[in-house]
Amino acid sequence: MMIFVTGGAGYIGSHTCVELLNAGMDVTVFDNFSNSQAEALERVKSITGKQLRSVEGDIRDGVALKKALADSGATSVIHFAGLKAVGESEVDPLRYYDNNVVGTMRLLESMRELNIKQLVFSSSATVYGVPQFLPYTEKHPLSATNTYGQTKLAVENMLRDVYRSDASWRLAILRYFNPVGAHPTGLIGEDPQGVPNNLMPYVAQVAVGRREFLNVWGNDYPTPDGTGVRDYIHVVDLAAGHVKAVQFLERNAGCNAINLGAGVGHSVLDLVHAFESASGKPVPVKVGPRRSGDLDAYWADPSLARDLLGWSAERGMEAMCLDTWKWQQSNPNGYKGGI
Ligand code: NAD
Ligand code: UD1
């Protein structure tokens, strides 16, 4: 079975390509490399010992996209391609709507024209907005507090409308919690450009000596140690969830939103301490003010993923930190530095 993977060279996409290939599926990646390196795909090949096809292109270019999709012979699509920096989305919202919403429209149009109606979409826990209850279940009301979140919500709504108009579509909307970690080989991982916004890559860069200390954004939240609490999910578990979602869509029509989280909350300081023991390196911290737009605490109810997909997270915080550390040590400057 051929799977067409938009954004397959990126952080979550590359790990998912490994799991798809290991599950015996064939893969065509479609990526414009705006936030990734082709080298990631070479490493996917060396981890799996298998080939994959890769086409360079932009999902907003409907002609190129449709041709690549038709040429691939795919029957199913996983759609990772998108921009994901919350701060940047507030500064340049039109770029985010264009890339994430218009890009997804082009993809759905191409799919409809080619009669390929099976799609897994990368959504985010950010669509739940301020928690009205915890853990978040898929029935939690939806809202967005920033432009990035609005684009995810807009695409989710578009998918629900498409399904209402034609029930032969098979759509899985996966709402990721906080993906972290790297492949245990240390060959692929998250390669943020510039100063990382997210916690785990920042902590890893402090441990490796690239940055002096971690700014902890607030320690006066109503949480056990005062720092923000999130549901961290190992990227290899997340990738495995995509294989399960593709297999689920093979068996079931419908449009389902499904949480992919571990179901456990960890604070910023929990993660820092876990990283210190995994790496054996100190991670100095300085407490700063709260980061604007941050929520106190949230985590997933992952039971729907267990019931529908037969998936649950297997790797804990120790593996998340050990694998991040292995990737960081072997690639202190990311893919550009070579191995
Ligand atoms: P990433 O930036 O590493 O990967 C995205 C990939 O899409 C990159 O390879 C990029 O080059 C490609 N891309 C972007 N715009 C494109 C376009 N117009 N045409 C073709 N390719 C394009 O991000 P990621 O962390 O792997 O995230 C993948 C998806 O999951 C994104 O949609 C993101 O919004 C979503 N998501 C990520 C997180 C997270 O924390 N990483 C959390 C929730 C949801
Ligand atoms: C952020 C995005 C979210 C996106 C997710 C994954 C915001 C408001 N939310 O989530 O939409 O889906 O990334 O890409 O940006 N922290 C520090 N110091 C740091 C970095 C983070 O203390 O240098 C803290 C944060 O305050 C938070 C926790 O660490 O409590 C996790 O932060 P982060 O990794 O950025 O993820 P989110 O904010 O949960």
- Using alpha carbons only, give the angle 41, 10, 83 rounded to the nearest 5 degrees: 150
**Measured from the CA of 59, which atom of ligand 1 is nearest?**
19
Going from N- to C-terminal start, the domains of the chain cover 2-181+233-262+302-313
**Mean pLDDT for all residues in the chain:** 97
Task: Give the closest residue (by CA) to ligand 1 atom 43.
Answer: 124
pTM exceeds 0.85, yes or no? yes
Distances (CA, A) of 93 to 21, 26, 90, 201: 35, 35, 6, 25
**Measured from the CA of 40, which atom of ligand 1 is nearest?**
9
Task: Give the closest residue (by CA) to ligand 2 atom 26.
Answer: 217
With contact defined as beta carbons under 8 Å apart, do 79 and 16 qualify?
Answer: no
The CA 198 to ligand 2 mean position distance, Å, reads 5
* Ligand 2 pocket residue status of 199, Cβ below 6 Å: yes
The CA 199 to ligand 2 mean position distance, Å, reads 6
Q: Is 115 left (phi over 0), alpha (psi -120 to 50) or beta?
A: left
Residues marked active site are found at 148
What is the per-residue pLDDT for 333? Answer: 87
The label of the residue with tokens 């609490």 reads: 229
In the three-class reduction of DSSP (H, G, I as helix; E, B as strand; rest coil), residue 224 is classed as coil
With contact defined as beta carbons under 8 Å apart, do 72 and 226 qualify?
Answer: no
Distances (CA, A) of 196 to 33, 106, 190, 246, 247: 18, 30, 10, 31, 34
pLDDT tops 70 at residue 338 = no
Q: Which residues line ligand 1 (CB under 6 A)?
A: 6-7, 9-13, 31-36, 58-60, 80-84, 99, 103, 122, 124, 176, 179
User: Does domain 2-181+233-262+302-313 correspond to CATH entry 3.40.50.720?
Assistant: yes
pLDDT tops 90 at residue 337 = no
What is the per-residue pLDDT for 279? Answer: 96
What is the per-residue pLDDT for 287? Answer: 98
Encode pLDDT of 76-117 as tens digits.
999 999 999 999 999 999 999 999 999 999 999 999 999 999
Q: What is the mean pLDDT of residues 25-48?
A: 98
Encode pLDDT of 155-197 as tens digits.
999 999 999 999 999 999 999 999 999 999 999 999 998 899 9
